[in-house]
């Protein structure tokens, strides 16, 4: 693969740069309850040398009733400074699944104006499989100032998504599994309706990955989106269950050179709870919401 320090880098690239003074590695592991894994405990037991743990649930806007919404600028700055991450750093984010929650932290840093950030392709599983070094030591932290400029165009709220669904000026793409998108199974989060945003398309995030770990090539990514009926001439709003796997879609789009994409941060946790918002079921249909 071709390494891109602003999107995706290989384990070879990280191994080569691991001791660079301005490299910062973040363990962004996060798991759904059904996965039965404890991300912080696993980090404490073994992580890539020098990695800091990024707690997606804690570094969020906890004033919101919705899960792990993007944090305020002030909270983000204070937490990253406490990790010793700041201006001039190249950041590499990984997770314990391969490519899963790391994309969410990649997007969060970009939202805050930090663009020298990449996801580790294959994550910790690939790093382990290759016999690369791990440790259980706490990293040495030195404060570093971070200049934050929130990139408002990278995130959409429910009002903006509703307007986009009606006008059809964006492609709304849902990363959830097909049976959830079609409304054939109940949502794992209690109290949510089943189905999808009218007019949205479905690209289950796993279709962009090879064996759930590494990202497909840019040409393969393009074929996946086009095969789902996504018009790539339009800007894209990515959605999912709670705003985590939607970021895998954003990362894949960035990987293939498409930069006009945003995340619906509330995703189905928000849309599915609002009884006044329309819900569609069955396969994706062409055309805007009426």
CA distance linking residue 50 with residue 45, whole number of Å:
13
Residue 60: which of 276, 271, 269 has the closest Cα?
A: 269
- Which two structure tokens, joined as six digits, stand for 148? 């934050």
CA distance linking residue 35 with residue 136, whole number of Å:
23
Contact 214, 122 (CB under 8 A): yes
Helices and strands (H and E) in the chain: how many: 10, 12
Instruction: Assess whether 240 carries a catalytic annotation.
Output: yes
What are the two backbone dihedrals, phi and then psi, of residue 178, each rounded to the nearest 5 degrees?
-60, -40
CA distance linking residue 224 with residue 240, whole number of Å:
17
CA distance linking residue 181 with residue 251, whole number of Å:
21
Which of 240, 248, 250, 262 is an active site residue? 240
Radius of gyration of the chain (CA): 18
Contact 251, 103 (CB under 8 A): yes
Element (H, E) at 209: strand 209-210
CA distance linking residue 290 with residue 284, whole number of Å:
14
Q: How far apart are the first and last CA of the chain?
A: 42
Exposure class string for 201-230: b at 16+ Cβ within 10 A, else e: bbbbbebbbeeebbbbebeebbebbeebeb
| Residues that are catalytic | 240
């Amino acid at each position: 693969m071709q390494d891109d320090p602003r999107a995706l880098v290989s384990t070879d690239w990280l191994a080569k740069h691991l001791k660079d003074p301005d490299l910062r590695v973040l363990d962004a592991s996060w798991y759904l309850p059904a996965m039965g894994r404890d991300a912080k405990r696993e980090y404490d037991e073994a992580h890539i040398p020098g990695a800091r743990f990024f707690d997606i649930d804690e570094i969020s806007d906890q004033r919101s009733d919705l899960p792990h919404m993007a944090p305020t600028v002030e909270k983000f700055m204070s937490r990253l400074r406490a990790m010793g991450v700041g201006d001039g750093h190249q950041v590499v984010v990984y997770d314990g699944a391969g490519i899963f929650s790391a994309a969410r932290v990649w997007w969060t840093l970009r939202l805050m104006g930090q663009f020298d950030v990449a996801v580790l392709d294959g994550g910790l599983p690939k790093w382990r499989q290759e016999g690369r070094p791990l440790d259980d030591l706490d990293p040495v932290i030195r404060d570093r100032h971070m200049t934050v400029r929130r990139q408002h165009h990278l995130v959409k709220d429910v009002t903006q998504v509703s307007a986009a669904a009606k006008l059809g000026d964006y492609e709304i793409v849902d990363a959830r599994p097909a049976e959830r998108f079609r409304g054939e199974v109940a949502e794992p989060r209690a109290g949510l309706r089943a189905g999808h945003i009218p007019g949205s398309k479905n690209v289950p995030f796993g279709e962009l990955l090879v064996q759930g770990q590494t990202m497909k090539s840019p040409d393969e990514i393009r074929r996946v989106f086009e095969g789902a009926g996504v018009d790539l001439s339009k800007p894209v709003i990515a959605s999912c269950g709670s705003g985590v796997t939607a970021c895998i879609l954003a990362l894949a789009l960035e990987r293939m050179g498409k930069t006009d994409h945003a995340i619906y941060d509330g995703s189905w946790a928000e849309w599915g709870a609002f009884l006044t918002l329309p819900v569609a079921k069955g396969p994706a249909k062409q055309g805007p919401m009426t």
